[in-house]
Amino acid sequence: MHSVLVLDLDDTTAPIGRPASARTVKLLKKLERKGYRIVFSSGKPAFYLCGFVRQLGLQEPVLIGENGCTLQLGIDLPPSKNLLLPLEKEVRAHLALLKQKILEACEETVWFQPNEISLTPFPKTGAAFGKIESILSENPDLLGGLTVYKQCDCFDILPENATKRRGLELLSSLLDIPSSAFIAVGDGINDLPMFDFADCAIGLGQVPLQSTDLLFETVEQALLHILEHDL
């Protein structure tokens, strides 16, 4: 039986911008009582995850924010235990310059997620979305050492060594738990690195079949399967 359950947040644990369903919360609590350590891994910053997870009533959740840039044990603010991904000076400079260029091009039509390390601009208009795409394609020199995930409503721009797999590797080392104990559940391309790390990968929706061991339509189906089959 596995002992660590890792879940993506948006469109996995809950719809984007919405709370988790009562059934999802009930299943997560059952899994925690059964002995699973519940981990949430997301592109959102840790403080956002704190607010979301606090509503679930879990006892010892772990938060991995910004696609692996930050790791936090528990939901306290300020955190009692947290780790930040080391950032090279050149990469930090590239992120700062990209933010400046995006601000100059989009002005009030872009909002930046308040991250600790990575850069996540949310364009407010289609024109702003196109401007950000152009900036990224026209400045390859500033993308050195960075990875870009284009989402439906934003761009995640992060250090190339920051992945959800990296976050799980840090957690595995910190808690002395092997990768063979991990189950990962997610729905997007940025979840593939954590699928590679986990012993059991569960995809939702349209995740490529070759990257997963199991595939379900909803998170409730996935959590119920884990419970019923003692994965």
Are 12 and 74 in the same domain? yes
Are 78 and 175 in the same domain? yes
Each residue of 6-18: pLDDT tens digit? 999 999 999 998 9
Are 101 and 58 in the same domain? no
User: In 3-state terms, what secondary structure has residue 209?
Assistant: helix
Last residue within a domain, chosen from 134, 159, 184: 159
Q: Are 39 and 7 in contact (CB under 8 A)?
A: yes
CATH number at residue 35: 3.40.50.1000
Indicate the number of domains in the chain. Answer: 2
CATH number at residue 114: 3.90.1070
In terms of Cβ atoms closer than 10 Å to its own Cβ (0-12, 13-18, 19+), residue 11 is middle
Last residue within a domain, chosen from 120, 141, 159: 159
Are 40 and 102 in the same domain? no
Instruction: Give the C-alpha separation, 186 to 122, whole Å.
Output: 22
206: domain range?
Answer: 4-85+162-229
> What share of the chain in percent tops pLDDT 70?
99
Q: Are 156 and 98 in contact (CB under 8 A)?
A: no
Let me know the angle formed at the C-alpha of 210 by 205 and 213, rounded to the nearest 5 degrees: 75
Q: What is the pLDDT of residue 218?
A: 96
User: In 3-state terms, what secondary structure has residue 215?
Assistant: strand
Each residue of 39-95: pLDDT tens digit? 999 999 999 999 999 999 999 999 999 999 999 999 999 998 999 999 999 999 999
Are 12 and 78 in the same domain? yes
Instruction: Give the C-alpha separation, 171 to 179, whole Å.
Output: 10
Each residue of 105-119: pLDDT tens digit? 999 999 999 999 999
Are 168 and 114 in the same domain? no
pLDDT at 210 over 90: no
